[in-house]
Amino acid sequence: MRSLTWKLGGALLLIVVVSVGLMAYLTNLSTAREFQQYVSRGNMMYTQSLADNLGDLYAERNNWNNLQERLESLPLSTSQRVIVTDSSGVVIGDTAGEWLGRESGDIGLSNGTPITASGYEIGDLYLLTSSDTGMGRGHMGGRTSQPMPVTVASEGDFLDRVNTSLWQVGLIAAAVALVIGLVLTRQITRPVRALISGARHLTRGELSYRVKVKTHDEIGELADSFNAMASSLERGEQSRRQLTADIAHELRTPLTVIEGTVDGIIDGVFKPDKEHLFSIKEQATLLTHLIGDLRDISLAESGQLKLNLTSTDMVELVRRMVSNYEVTASEKYVRLKLQEVTQVPNIRIDPVRIEQVISNLLTNSIRYTPSGGNITVSVKIEEASLVISVADTGEGIAPEDLPHVFERFYRSGSSRARKEGGTGLGLAVVKQMVEAHGGKVWVESKMGTGSVFSIFLPLSTY
């Protein structure tokens, strides 16, 4: 595996090498060009001022006497050579002394700088440099000797030196950039390594492990998401353990009753009469309910609950449910009534599941409302929802219990609720079923006054 450090480092090295190389190459090109122009201009000015000077020399005496001595006294570099021809093109002065008396055309001299005296052209001046002086050669062959541009050896040296220092600076810059880059790369990859190590801890089942990344960039965000994921996994694991313990506990109670009753009958302590058989049957029914509710909750929680959605008249459904429970309520001397409702539109729901929800709410309200109490069911429209409420004048729910009543196996005043025959799953089923329909549940309650349980089903589903 090629590590991220090396990938980033390699990319950085490439960028540094390419940009420093390009910079050195382009600087070199422009330096050479600028320098050539600078030298050319210098030579041109020097040639012109020398031509003026020689013109003055001629004008002083009206002849070319002492020209050669004058030329030899010029402060020229070893690579430079000055040649003067008279107006007929014959060489009359040569700092190298080589071509004196020769025709300029024969030795390939052309385009000289004119020397003038009193307005007359009295000759030409040629400034040759090492590249075109033809030092040591008899003549210039057919080559046209251009006095300019020139490249003098020392000037070439200068360009070489510029080049060398350019490369040196470039290399130092590259090395510095690389060191800084590697340090930065390590800093960037450190949180990534922390994340990798965090993932390994989670894989080993250490769900309480959290990565410590404090950066405020995308990797910091990734670390936050990672920690949130770990927390959620941990919570999930905790609730799974809790659920397993709760299920074991809930199953044990009815099984103990069944076992105890059957043992009593076997030992002859109880008669196998209707009363004892009924008790066994009651506990078996409770177990069946418990298992059915658990299955529904787990299906709904994992999103696998299949809903048979059909367009349903909710008023009709609620009215039917209320009449189903009228007998049970009246047996307890509790008044159960459906509030007058206005017409509401049909909505698409799974009637079996929603009947289960309303049934659980009605069972609870009858169970927790003492004799002489009232239960009022209503169906209405609120904003974009169809709201079904079951309000009772029962014992109410303590404020500390209220946020938990929709949790699995939560029972407020547990001994009482258990005695009443509840599984502790009724409201958890209500919540899961309503949420599977895209709705929500709501409860308001006051101790001693009563409770109102409401379910909100989205109207958009009709």
Instruction: Give the one residue of 223, 321, 417, 433 binding ligand ADP; rule: CB under 6 A.
Output: 417
Question: What DSSP string describes 182-199?
Answer: HHHHHHHHHHHHHHHHHH
Type of residue numbered 380: K
The span from the first CA to the last CA of the chain, in angstroms, equals 56
Binding mask of the shown chain, residues 377 to 396, with x at each position contacting ligand ADP by CB under 6 A = ---------------x-xx-
Among 170, 191, 424, 439, binds ligand ADP (CB under 6 A): 424
CB-CB neighbours of 75 under 10 Å: 5
CB of 126 or CB of 406, closer to ligand ADP = 406
Measure the CA–CA gap between 64 and 51, rounded to whole angstroms. 13
% helix, strand, coil for the chain, step of 5: 55, 15, 30
Asked if 254 touches ligand ADP (CB under 6 A), the answer is no
Choosing from 9, 254, 373, 426, the residue that interacts with ligand ADP (CB under 6 A) is: 426
Rounded Cα–Cα distance for residues 454 and 357 (Å): 11
Interacting stretch for ligand ADP, rule CB under 6 A, among 96-104, 165-173, 320-328, 425-433?
425-433
- Taking the complex as a whole, how short is the minimal distance between the CB of residue 297 and ligand ADP, in angstroms? 11
Stretch that binds ligand ADP, among 21-29, 157-165, 204-212, 423-431 (CB under 6 A): 423-431
- Least separation, in Å, of the C-beta of 366 and ligand ADP? 9
Size of the site for ligand ADP (CB under 6 A): 21
DSSP β-bridge partners for residue 93 = 84
Per CB under 6 A, 230 contacts ligand ADP: no
How far apart CA 364 and CA 398 sit, in angstroms, is 15
> In angstroms, rounded to a whole number, what is the distance separating the alpha carbons of residues 152 and 128?
10
Asked if 369 and 334 touch (Cβ cutoff 8 Å), the reply is yes
Which residue do the tokens 């008279």 mark? 86
Closer to ligand ADP at the Cβ: 114 or 370? 370
Residue 446 beta carbon to ligand ADP: minimum distance, rounded to whole angstroms: 11
Q: Judged by CB under 6 A, does residue 422 bind ligand ADP?
A: yes
Give residues in contact with ligand ADP (CB under 6 A): 364-365, 368, 392, 394-395, 397, 405, 410-413, 417, 422-428, 451
